[in-house]
Chains A and B, each alone.
Chain A
């Protein structure tokens, strides 16, 4: 436990200092950290899932607070919570399926009494979820008994728990943790391979002799373009430089190294060039539940230009960027103001910021926001590792990956469990 705590602290410090760059790296590191938290967490006799959820929530809360701007942290925490719930549910339903309902003995009543508050909560939540939410494709395919089992009364759920407890609880506890870790490993795998999965779809979207415009530098976009190039598509790329960090310069260099015909333009030239562009392909910082995009600064302007000229505006995003929150949620910190020194040289303008002159307030203010918000109506298509989706489909995708209970990651204050 202490070594996990040290790991957690180290990661928190990294997040706080903004030492982790990029949402993919953040997502991967978060998932790996949570995996080690799960494997180190000692699960109690009963209600293992609850204990694990509490542990993850405790860590997740700190992680989210450490860098509220990086939404990928919260996304991964919620994904892991969802995984725990799903695995718990599938185990419970498996137990129900194998249950001989007639065998109700006296000692089970005791067990039921003990387990009742714990399990009923989980079961009620699960039932509520499955009634509120249309069954997802995944659950329909994988857990056939799910829909049959969960709508049963909570007491039957209690029975099942009692049963499994008396029967094979040790194996079950090991199985639950094992399954969860397996699922988290899959998640890490997904995050690691999201670039490949997205770029596999490249040839379907980029056609011969097209002109693609992008802004700034996104690794996803770079691999997407390169994948199309490898499939012998010949096309041209316009790269807007992406002031003030000028990551577009880096992207142009990388694309040229891969043999792509590249044109570098300033951000302000986007509108002039957009009429020659067939498609805008950009990366994102986060995709919100309403289909809006939090993206590097300047993209809203590009999206508006694309809309004006009816150019498709395509956003590439791995599923770890899918955020179950809405941009109007109070806990969503939409933007991060970076240092103004990226915009201008402090020394050159130091006399403009002399606080001693005048009324003590400088006449020059420099603001350097990192992100833009692109509303969903400006986005034509999202390409995630599971395929292309409309902005209006995002909430559905989110319902697949997150459970509604986890949207606010905050531990219940001193819960009885």
Chain B
């Protein structure tokens, strides 16, 4: 319905000249967990960026860019966001209307846009932006381009703002810490033809569809553009999201979906900005980078000494130091770079941001909460952290980043963040095996305590093996580890008793082990022997013990026959 309305409006626009207020959708949730655990208790958009909550930069920009109506979509920590906005002055500005939309069950940007579509609040072209974007660009030209294109071609549904930014040749990352982005753009119409942010750098190749080259007379492929995550959208965008209910991510699903699937014929265009600034806080590194950009005034007039918010007064003093009026203590470790000394807006009393090569230094001036607020970005108590980490064992990203943040000094080292994504793969696999082992052990212990049949245990372990993509050797290792652990945990007084325990446990669970240890056990025995863990006598004793046992029990003995034989021979030689 909105789609039809939108199309008729465009056709009548010239005669009717109905002025639709310029609207914007601000997603106050990134629908990602990159900022965990600091976002556990505090929404990302309220994290301070040079002492001002991120969302204020976005709102200030929207306001100065001439947006008249903003819908703030709050999902995670929606109460906090709404409370903050209510206490701020954004609701009271003339010609700037802020409406909050609250949702608790949206898990993606797609869900959010579908919900907004249902509300029927968007009537014309709108700006789609997340609450963590900092910009000072002027929208007039981009909007005009978008409208002109719409008049000519109804399918031009979106204009994406891009900016030139060279990626590093070594890490293939932009200075904002995002992966190198490949875009194919028609140099004349500025139409976006290809968008790939997860290119495989190891292969060093990029595959373009043949049709892309066949259909377009000229094409320019860029790897030096940065996506600013500022989109000027037509109302159709909302209905596209509603029609394609599986679209979740704005870029991964929506953009790629539209580019690949040309049945609908929708087109996306780009608008490149040159002198203006636009960037999105997407990860810890961009958090750091954008903070420094603000301190270095690239975002002018959204800089600390221009009170676009009126929260506090900071002056840019000599030697390029920002100082809030409330702070009197001189800073003596300056080296001529722009630095910033401001009071915090939130519970942290005072912060000090140095750009002199140390990343962040956050010092606390007022006493009292010193212990409590040690953490640099957002304080999260240790109890809460462990609780959450246990609750979401399978959330791998959380633990990788958790380990970063839980440095005892409470300091975030930006360098480690920049390497984060590179290490991701290694850490993933390492974590995977750790989790797998834990799962197997838990399964095994459950089997021990509840007397589950061995077949069932095997089934369970097998399913675990499949889900974690492990080999059966891994299962064997995990199982053997659990078996030995069980044996160790059984209380015992002497070594011989321990040995007896081990023997009994192994005998009890031999079938289980057998199913994974096809030919491995001999080596294991050998290994154990060589490491002096098992005494020679013990093995021989075990072999002789087994001689009287049933046929089925003898599988192990048989399998390790050679080794036992060798042991026997060796002991005879010793004699």
Contact = CB atoms under 8 A, between A and B. Distances in A.
B94 interface: yes
A164 to B, nearest CB: 42
Contact of A17 (B64, B175, B224): B64
B310 A16 contact: yes
A342 interface: yes
B313 interface: yes
Contact of B307 (A16, A337, A350, A362): A16
B165 interface: yes
Nearest to B358: A360
Nearest to A68: B315
A366 interface: yes
A53 B68 CA distance: 37
Contacts of A365: 296, 337-338
Given A6-B94, A360-B359, A360-B414, A337 B297 contact: yes
B301 A357 contact: no
Interface in B384-422: 414-415, 418
Nearest to A16: B307
A333 interface: yes
A354 B292 CA distance: 10
Interface string A308-330: 00000000000000000000000
30 contacts: A6-B94, A9-B94, A10-B94, A16-B310, A17-B64, A17-B306, A18-B301, A65-B313, A66-B307, A337-B297, A337-B300, A337-B316, A338-B300, A339-B301, A340-B296, A340-B298, A341-B275, A346-B274, A347-B164, A347-B166, A347-B274, A350-B174, A350-B226, A353-B175, A356-B414, A356-B415, A360-B288, A360-B415, A361-B356, A361-B357
B255 to A, nearest CB: 21
Interface string B63-107: 010000000000000000000000000000110000000000000
Contacts of A356: 168, 171, 173, 175, 177, 285, 289, 414-415, 418
Given A333-B315, A356-B414, A338 B166 contact: no
Contacts of B289: 355-356
Name the prevailing secondary structure of the A interface residues: loop
Interface string A190-220: 0000000000000000000000000000000
Question: What is the interface residue range for chain B against chain A?
Answer: 35 or more
Question: What is the interface residue range for chain A against chain B?
Answer: 35 or more
B374 interface: no
Given A333-B315, A356-B414, A339 B299 contact: yes
B165 A339 contact: no
B163 interface: yes
A91 interface: no
Interface of A: 6, 9-10, 13, 16-19, 65-66, 68, 333, 337-342, 345-348, 350-351, 353-357, 359-362, 365-368
Given A345-B164, A346-B275, 17 more contacts: A10-B94, A65-B313, A333-B315, A341-B276, A345-B275, A347-B166, A347-B224, A350-B166, A350-B174, A351-B175, A356-B173, A356-B289, A357-B168, A360-B414, A361-B337, A361-B356, A361-B357
B317 to A, nearest CB: 9
B136 interface: yes
B320 interface: yes
